[in-house]
């Protein structure tokens, strides 16, 4: 079955013909706490740059995408077994924290480090 | 910058359901916007600038020693005019219950060791309140308090970690840390009545509580002090598996 399917899968040259801008990658995204209506309690920083991941994931997941080895199995099961099984999608892979200075409802002032608030790299999984 | 379209304050857009849900989590918008010039706020802003860059990224070389620091102001206190060279006032700091998975690692009280009031130069210090009489502070002659250290020309810091941990262990509700704030005329001029309005100590003395995220500490398989018994009992099976 895999052999018969393989002839239908676009070859490496065909996949690489896809514009690189459409491939899974990190996109810059920034918002201010003023825009969120939170600047009355978040003192610093003024801007929050969480970024986001967007783009197409190829059927054969190459090394640079940081995908786990199993991810290709999702593609195979989707094609060979059940189309409702989700294929790998473009999601964040690495995160960095952010430090926030805020005022609490009782007047206390809080410095707090929040883990995993900014996406730094993307993967297909 | 948000994509290709410009946006005003998202809080005023009623058609964004996620934004509306997130706004429910934020404190009341009627809350007074903090004044940056207030001394406690200035202190925390300096602490923030030492610990994070302009984008909010924690600095690699930060020396804060904790992932969360809370500045607690004293509760409002009524001033009592005193005669003589010495002024003594009790300050009550409310201690909230620890959030789950946060461990207190350090507690300090920060205060101005020199104040100017009505033209008089005052020398001040803070001591833990010792229960000798229910209402008054008495100079404890340094017993039960650690030696303060000078942070700058303005601020002095005194470690009160043991006192705070004791209050958190022994009292489950209405935890209050009571301290004595004592000032005296530097010239020691006796007989002069000094009307102390009390607001100075509320703005020049505050408590700093340093917390670490114990969940991260468990993942690193560090030894935890006994104060985390409640947390460990809840997830003891998980901890045992991770230790193995």
**The pair of three-digit structure tokens given for residue B22, joined into one six-digit string:** 């997130």
- Cα B27 to Cα A111, B23, B75, B130, B208, distances in angstroms: 16, 8, 20, 36, 22
Confidence of residue B231 (pLDDT cuts 50, 70, 90): very low
For residue B215, report the phi and psi dihedrals to the nearest 5 degrees: -60, -40
pLDDT above 70 coverage of chain B, percent = 54
CB neighbourhood size of A22 (10 A): 10
- Token look-up 């924690």 returns B58
Q: Is B137 exposed, middle or buried (0-12, 13-18, 19+ CB in 10 A)?
A: buried
ipTM over 0.90: no
Mutate to test the interface with A, among B3, B35, B47, B56 (most CBs of A within 10 A): B56
Residue in B166, B201, B157 with CA at minimum distance from that of residue B182: B201
Q: A54 to chain B nearest CA, in Å?
A: 13
pLDDT at res. A43: 92
* Cβ of residue B64 closer than 8 Å to a chain A Cβ: yes
By C-alpha distance, the chain A residue nearest B27 is A105
Local mean pLDDT, 10-residue blocks, chain A (125 residues): 51 50 91 86 93 93 87 92 95 96 90 95 96
**The pair of three-digit structure tokens given for residue B139, joined into one six-digit string:** 């100079």
- Inter-chain touch A40–B33, beta carbons under 8 Å: yes
Q: Which residues of A touch B29 (CB under 8 A)?
A: 37, 40
- Inter-chain touch A111–B68, beta carbons under 8 Å: yes
By C-alpha distance, the chain A residue nearest B12 is A37
Separation of alpha carbons B88 and B91, rounded Å = 10
Under 8 Å between Cβ of B208 and B69: yes
Q: What angle do CA B59, B64, B70 make, to 5 degrees?
A: 115
- Inter-chain touch A110–B72, beta carbons under 8 Å: no
């Amino acid at each position: 079955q895999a052999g018969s399917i393989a002839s239908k899968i676009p070859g490496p040259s065909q996949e690489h013909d896809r514009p690189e801008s459409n491939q899974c990658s990190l996109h810059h995204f920034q918002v201010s706490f003023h825009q969120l209506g939170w600047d009355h309690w978040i003192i610093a920083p003024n801007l929050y740059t969480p970024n986001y991941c967007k783009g197409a994931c190829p059927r054969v997941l190459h090394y640079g995408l940081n995908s786990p080895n199993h991810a290709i199995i999702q593609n195979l099961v989707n094609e060979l077994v059940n189309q409702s099984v989700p294929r790998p999608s473009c999601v964040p892979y690495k995160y960095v924290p952010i430090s926030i200075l805020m005022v609490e409802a009782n007047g206390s002032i809080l410095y707090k480090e929040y883990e995993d608030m900014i996406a730094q790299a993307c993967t297909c999984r | 910058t948000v994509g290709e379209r410009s946006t005003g304050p998202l809080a005023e857009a009623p058609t964004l359901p996620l934004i509306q849900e997130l706004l429910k989590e934020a404190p009341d918008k009627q809350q007074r916007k903090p004044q940056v010039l207030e001394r406690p706020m200035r202190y925390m802003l300096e602490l923030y600038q030492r610990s994070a860059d302009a984008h909010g990224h924690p600095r690699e070389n930060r020396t804060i020693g904790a992932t969360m620091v809370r500045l607690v102001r004293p509760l409002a206190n009524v001033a009592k005019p005193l005669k003589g060279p010495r002024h003594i006032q009790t300050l009550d700091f409310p201690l909230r219950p620890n959030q789950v998975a946060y461990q207190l690692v350090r507690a300090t009280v920060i205060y101005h060791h020199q104040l100017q009031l009505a033209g008089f130069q005052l020398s001040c210090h803070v001591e833990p309140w010792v229960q000798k009489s229910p209402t008054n502070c008495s100079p404890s002659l340094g017993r039960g308090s650690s030696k303060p250290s000078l942070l700058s020309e303005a601020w002095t810091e005194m470690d009160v970690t043991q006192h705070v941990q004791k209050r958190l262990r022994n009292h489950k509700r209405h935890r209050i840390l009571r301290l004595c704030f004592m000032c005296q005329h530097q010239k020691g001029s006796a007989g002069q009545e000094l009307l102390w309005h009390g607001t100075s100590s509320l703005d020049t003395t505050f408590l700093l509580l340093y917390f670490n995220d114990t969940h991260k500490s468990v993942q690193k398989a560090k030894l935890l002090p006994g104060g985390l018994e409640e947390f460990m009992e809840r997830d003891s099976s998980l901890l045992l598996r991770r230790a193995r």
